[in-house]
Amino acid sequence: MEEIIKSYYTETKKVLDSLSQSNREYFEKVEDYMIFSGIFYDEISLRKVILQMALDLKDAEQDGLTAVEYFGDNPKKMVDNVIREAKVDTRISQISLFTIFIGVICYCHFLSDFSSDGLVTINVFEYLSSVVFGLVVMAVFLTFYKQSIYGLTLRKDKLGSYLTIVVIAALIIALVYLFDRFRMVFVGPIYTFSTLVSIVIASILVIGGLFLVTRRKLFRVFIPVIVGYFLAGILALVINTAGIQHNVLQFAPIIVICLSLLVFLIMSRLLIFK
What does the domain layout of the chain look like in residue ranges? Answer: 1-86
Residue 170 has pLDDT above 90, yes or no: no
Residues 23-34 pLDDT 10s: 898 888 888 888
Helix or strand (DSSP H, E) at 62: helix 43-62
- In DSSP notation, 190-254 reads EEE--HHHHHHHHHHHHHHHHHHHTTSGGGGGGHHHHHHHHHHHHHHHHHHHHT---HHHHTHHH
Contact indicator for 114, 235 with CB cutoff of 8 Å: no
Structure confidence at residue 166 as a pLDDT band (50, 70, 90): confident
* CA gap 236, 240 in Å, rounded: 6
* 193-224 pLDDT, tens digit each: 888 999 999 999 999 999 988 887 778 888 99
CA atoms lying within 13 Å on the CB side of residue 234: 13
pTM (2 d.p.): 0.64
* Amino acid at the residue 38: G
Q: 153 and 161 in contact (C-beta within 8 Å)?
A: yes
> Is the model more confident about 149 or about 41?
41
